[in-house]
Chains A and B, each alone.
Chain A
């Protein structure tokens, strides 16, 4: 009944913004990350530095059987997972912001917002997410590079495979998107 091209379509829909597929995946990704992080903490008491990116990769590995999956599907799985992680992070930040507002505090502390060392620009992840949505209206593919790299923790090579472009193009897209977003957030902050 179902053939692989259907799956590809579903996953593409998901990458294109459909929430259902990402919805399906989100609890899995999230649970897996938590679990990995926890078991890691339990095993490695001497080294408390969590390499979260490594965790994400391990979560991918656990969720799909990498050896047996064609790249095409794997790529879309990555895309979906990146989207899921993005939502996890955004939902989390929003929840925290709400809690903060309830408490009458306004400043975001380090653990919930990204602090950008350059130029002293403080940016929170929700603002970044919103800026990225605006960017995606003009440059959907480049915005996806951001999603895969910044949220999904994928390497340039992996992104190249997911998007079916060459490695250099990924770098160019990334640089453009990063500069665009930086400027956008600076403008936000200036307002």
Chain B
């Protein structure tokens, strides 16, 4: 039955919508016409109309207004509760990360008012606490009449960290100047007092990092007090340091007072405070901020602060200024313009060297003496900054520390599995035959024996040996297997993974022949092979081998023997490599549990387990626990081997690493110095272990901001490696690469850094072949530096080369490949080609999502860049 009178294309929804536009009186007639005799249609429209009538405000407010899942964002007022011995009286103020309360001693023995800074929920509590423990000695030691004392800190009953500080009843310095209509001279004198306090803190190695008027109070009696010294370092999430320009990092400072290096996420030094002092003085004198930052878009903030020049103070005197007197502009023009702008220079090393020097120049001006500040030249500014517009990419360096860490583990692990094998009768004779064979090999390549006069290298010996194992030891498969094992390990340590694998596979084939497929005797070889796979980033293959060993050991033993423990540790290392640190920790703990229950003395192996656990703990950010595990490892090794074993030095080294990761590079440096002492007791001063330890120390000192000493040590290390190994050894490459990292990130001398990266790259290529992970690392670093230096097309070329190498060497989807992809995307973005950048970002995101746990910072970062890229496409 087709209704004749209605348009068959009109739906109930359309008729309904038409109907509600009509006055009620006309509706019925309209509906009769529109629906004709289609009862179903008419019923539907009527039903919609009825719903419309009674729907009220249904859905009119967006869901997000009613249902925003932001539980906990309401600032709760905890007045009346306690923090330690203090009762919270009232809220004094609140910031992004904390709420400050007025507090009173709860025991009321003596009345004392304090300020209690209570950290908000959602912050990384563990990290803040460990930071605080780190810093408290230093901060509590700051005793200066113009600095508010840090009195104490702790955790509330419900687990929130708090800091107790001297309570200052005052108003921010800018308000103080305004209310009292201070003249220029008075403002400058007040400012000098601020400088004195800052200088005092700097001498005590504390950088404020967040200087702003609201942190500088003036009491009713006119006394200046600086608040929150060093607090922002305590509150800084660990990740923010490495990440640079992320939203996470951004929240930690006040953009208005932030220096170019801060918005770029680069290391913060005393020069950073000098810069903030410059902003404060600018505002005190003009009533204006130097930059008009109207946006919160990080790249834009970075652009404004990092690239634009602030107007001279004398040119921005506004109607609303609180500075009294006439001819203000004339008063500021010249010296004061120059002084303020010197403090505001983009490059930290072109600002005043210290708050003292800044203050001194102000004094000279006040005394009518010539000041040291000179106007900046336009040429300098443009030359240096014209091309600065980059998204920072996390730095990659070949870090000595982790290399050493890896070596400890593997030596100890294989040592044990070999010893397990040694229990078999056949091994006794095998051992003798193995060393005999190796001795022959040495003789074969002895220059005296050789006629050609070719240089003898370890590689040559090994190659020669490789050829001869099969030819000469066909009758002695057990000896051949043991030799293949040794060869595999040696090649692996040389970074020649393909060669290593060949021998590893040969060993396994022989074991199968001797003992049947997948025997317990093959376990050592399988663990070794797995280790090689791990080195190449083939984590899944490694894992499946380790799992197989676990199955074998569980089926042949009770599942709680030594091989099982070794396997758990190897699996732990695998998980760690896969980024699953939680599981890694569990596996290591299982290894430790088994090991502790074993009869006999296994302290040395236990130390190895604890060492791996410690490394996994560092990776998962549990620095305290990590240090504890590593210290236990240290104690065990000391007990079994005495103080002068090389492993002792290495554990010290790892403790240094853990402390460094925790952000305490100074304490780390202490352990690394200890590591050096241990190594030097055993080895000659130019022994690689000693040199490596020095390299690590230089790295730590660099991170601790002690660039001068770091630089000296780096230079020594490079000289040492060169004289020990020759100019072209891979270790020289490592030293050059790491030194370049410091020049790049610490001193920002990109041309020198690029030069060193190139040298390192050329060494790696020559020594390790074009397709080695180290080539890719040096190549990537070179690309990143060139990018920073604004040499975009060179950067692109190098980055493509790094990417090609990594694609060739690493398994598909290795997270390191994403580093190159990410940098490529960024370079292309800066070249104004977001369409080309997009593919790289997308692949990077796909890889990272696949490889890293959800929410990992690298994923979030790269995704953010992809989002910007997508948004810019079509522009």
| A27 to B50 alpha-carbon distance, docked (Å) | 40
Q: Does B58 contact A (CB under 8 A)?
A: yes
Residues of B within 8 A of A27 (CB): 855, 860, 863
Q: Are the C-beta atoms of B860 and A31 separated by less than 8 Å?
A: yes
Residues of A within 8 A of B871 (CB): 63-65, 68-69, 73-74, 77
CB distance from A30 to the nearest CB of B (A): 9
Q: Tell which of A41, A89, A125, A142 touches B73, judged by Cβ atoms closer than 8 Å.
A: A41
Residues of A within 8 A of B875 (CB): 68-70
| A53 to B65 alpha-carbon distance, docked (Å) | 6
Q: Does B205 contact A (CB under 8 A)?
A: no
Please judge, given known A-B contacts A25-B867, A62-B297, A172-B14, whether A182 and B839 are in contact too, CB under 8 Å: no
Chain A residues 14-59 with CB under 8 Å of chain B are 24-25, 27-28, 31-35, 37-39, 41-42, 45, 48, 50-53, 55-56
Q: Are the C-beta atoms of A117 and B56 separated by less than 8 Å?
A: yes
Q: Does A88 contact B (CB under 8 A)?
A: yes
CB distance from B101 to the nearest CB of A (A): 13
Q: Are the C-beta atoms of B872 and A65 separated by less than 8 Å?
A: yes
Please judge, given known A-B contacts A2-B836, A32-B247, A179-B52, whether A151 and B867 are in contact too, CB under 8 Å: no
Q: Are the C-beta atoms of B17 and A52 separated by less than 8 Å?
A: no
Residues of A within 8 A of B67 (CB): 89, 92-93, 112-114, 125
Q: Are the C-beta atoms of A183 and B51 separated by less than 8 Å?
A: yes
Of all chain A residues, the one with the shortest Cβ separation from B96 is A42
CB distance from A27 to the nearest CB of B (A): 6
Size class of the contact patch on chain A: 35 or more
CB distance from A165 to the nearest CB of B (A): 13
Residues of A within 8 A of B371 (CB): none
Q: Does A4 contact B (CB under 8 A)?
A: yes
Residues of B within 8 A of A162 (CB): none
Residues of A within 8 A of B68 (CB): 33, 37, 50, 52, 55
Please judge, given known A-B contacts A7-B838, A7-B874, A119-B54, whether A176 and B17 are in contact too, CB under 8 Å: yes
Q: Are the C-beta atoms of A2 and B73 separated by less than 8 Å?
A: no
The dominant DSSP class at the A interface is helix
Q: Are the C-beta atoms of B63 and A179 separated by less than 8 Å?
A: no
Of all chain B residues, the one with the shortest Cβ separation from A88 is B69
Residues of B within 8 A of A39 (CB): 96, 251
Q: Are the C-beta atoms of A35 and B73 separated by less than 8 Å?
A: no
Residues of A within 8 A of B247 (CB): 31-32, 35
Of all chain A residues, the one with the shortest Cβ separation from B246 is A31
Residues of A within 8 A of B71 (CB): 111
Of all chain B residues, the one with the shortest Cβ separation from A121 is B58
Please judge, given known A-B contacts A2-B873, A118-B58, A178-B58, whether A34 and B70 are in contact too, CB under 8 Å: yes
Q: Are the C-beta atoms of A24 and B62 separated by less than 8 Å?
A: no
Q: Does A3 contact B (CB under 8 A)?
A: yes
Q: Are the C-beta atoms of B56 and A118 separated by less than 8 Å?
A: yes
Q: Are the C-beta atoms of A151 and B62 separated by less than 8 Å?
A: yes
Q: Tell which of B52, B251, B299, B870 touches A7, judged by Cβ atoms closer than 8 Å.
A: B870
Chain A residues 141-172 with CB under 8 Å of chain B are 142, 146, 149-153, 172
The dominant DSSP class at the B interface is helix
Q: Are the C-beta atoms of A52 and B65 separated by less than 8 Å?
A: yes
Q: Does B453 contact A (CB under 8 A)?
A: no
CB < 8 Å A-B pair total: 191
| A131 to B232 alpha-carbon distance, docked (Å) | 48
Q: Are the C-beta atoms of B64 and A53 separated by less than 8 Å?
A: yes
Q: Are the C-beta atoms of A24 and B874 separated by less than 8 Å?
A: no
Residues of B within 8 A of A52 (CB): 62, 64-65, 68
Residues of A within 8 A of B866 (CB): 24
Residues of B within 8 A of A62 (CB): 296-297
Interface string of B560-593 (1 = CB under 8 A from A): 0000000000000000000000000000000000
CB distance from B748 to the nearest CB of A (A): 27
Q: Are the C-beta atoms of B65 and A51 separated by less than 8 Å?
A: yes
Q: Are the C-beta atoms of B48 and A179 separated by less than 8 Å?
A: yes
Q: Are the C-beta atoms of A45 and B49 separated by less than 8 Å?
A: no
| A45 to B20 alpha-carbon distance, docked (Å) | 43
| A150 to B66 alpha-carbon distance, docked (Å) | 11
Q: Are the C-beta atoms of B73 and A37 separated by less than 8 Å?
A: yes
| A74 to B74 alpha-carbon distance, docked (Å) | 32
Residues of B within 8 A of A180 (CB): 13, 48, 51
CB distance from B848 to the nearest CB of A (A): 11
CB distance from B734 to the nearest CB of A (A): 36
Q: Are the C-beta atoms of A64 and B867 separated by less than 8 Å?
A: yes
Please judge, given known A-B contacts A65-B297, A114-B67, A151-B63, whether A34 and B73 are in contact too, CB under 8 Å: yes
Of all chain B residues, the one with the shortest Cβ separation from A148 is B62
Q: Does A189 contact B (CB under 8 A)?
A: no
| A31 to B864 alpha-carbon distance, docked (Å) | 11
Interface string of B60-102 (1 = CB under 8 A from A): 0011111111110111000000000000000000111000000
Q: Are the C-beta atoms of A151 and B297 separated by less than 8 Å?
A: no
| A55 to B597 alpha-carbon distance, docked (Å) | 58
Residues of A within 8 A of B52 (CB): 175, 178-179, 182
Of all chain A residues, the one with the shortest Cβ separation from B75 is A41
Please judge, given known A-B contacts A52-B65, A114-B63, A153-B64, whether A183 and B867 are in contact too, CB under 8 Å: no
Of all chain A residues, the one with the shortest Cβ separation from B300 is A65
| A34 to B127 alpha-carbon distance, docked (Å) | 21
Chain B residues 1-24 with CB under 8 Å of chain A are 13-14, 16-17, 20
Q: Does B435 contact A (CB under 8 A)?
A: no
Q: Does A181 contact B (CB under 8 A)?
A: yes
Q: Does B55 contact A (CB under 8 A)?
A: yes
Q: Are the C-beta atoms of A118 and B54 separated by less than 8 Å?
A: yes
Q: Tell which of A4, A25, A70, A179 touches B49, judged by Cβ atoms closer than 8 Å.
A: A179
| A82 to B367 alpha-carbon distance, docked (Å) | 63
Q: Does B40 contact A (CB under 8 A)?
A: no
CB distance from A132 to the nearest CB of B (A): 10
Residues of A within 8 A of B108 (CB): none
| A183 to B872 alpha-carbon distance, docked (Å) | 42
Q: Does A139 contact B (CB under 8 A)?
A: yes
Residues of B within 8 A of A74 (CB): 871
CB distance from A34 to the nearest CB of B (A): 6
Q: Does A85 contact B (CB under 8 A)?
A: yes
Q: Tell which of A70, A117, A125, A183 touches B874, judged by Cβ atoms closer than 8 Å.
A: A70
Q: Are the C-beta atoms of B874 and A4 separated by less than 8 Å?
A: yes
Q: Tell which of B20, B70, B874 touches A175, judged by Cβ atoms closer than 8 Å.
A: B20
CB distance from B20 to the nearest CB of A (A): 6
Q: Are the C-beta atoms of B867 and A28 separated by less than 8 Å?
A: yes
A and B contact pairs by CB, cutoff 8 A, 12 listed: A4-B873, A24-B867, A32-B247, A33-B68, A42-B75, A42-B96, A112-B67, A116-B57, A118-B55, A151-B62, A172-B13, A176-B14
Report B's interface with A, CB cutoff 8 A: 13-14, 16-17, 20, 47-52, 54-59, 62-71, 73-75, 94-96, 247, 251, 296-297, 299-300, 835-836, 838-839, 845, 855, 860, 863-864, 866-868, 870-875
Q: Give 5 closest A-B pairs by Cβ, nearest first.
A: A118-B56, A92-B69, A64-B871, A172-B17, A176-B13
Report A's interface with B, CB cutoff 8 A: 1-4, 7, 24-25, 27-28, 31-35, 37-39, 41-42, 45, 48, 50-53, 55-56, 61-65, 68-70, 72-74, 77, 85-86, 88-89, 92-93, 111-114, 116-119, 121, 125, 128, 139, 142, 146, 149-153, 172-173, 175-176, 178-183, 186
Known: A70-B875, A183-B48; 13 extra A-B contacts, CB below 8 A, are A2-B835, A3-B835, A7-B873, A41-B94, A68-B872, A73-B871, A86-B63, A89-B63, A118-B57, A128-B59, A176-B17, A178-B55, A182-B58
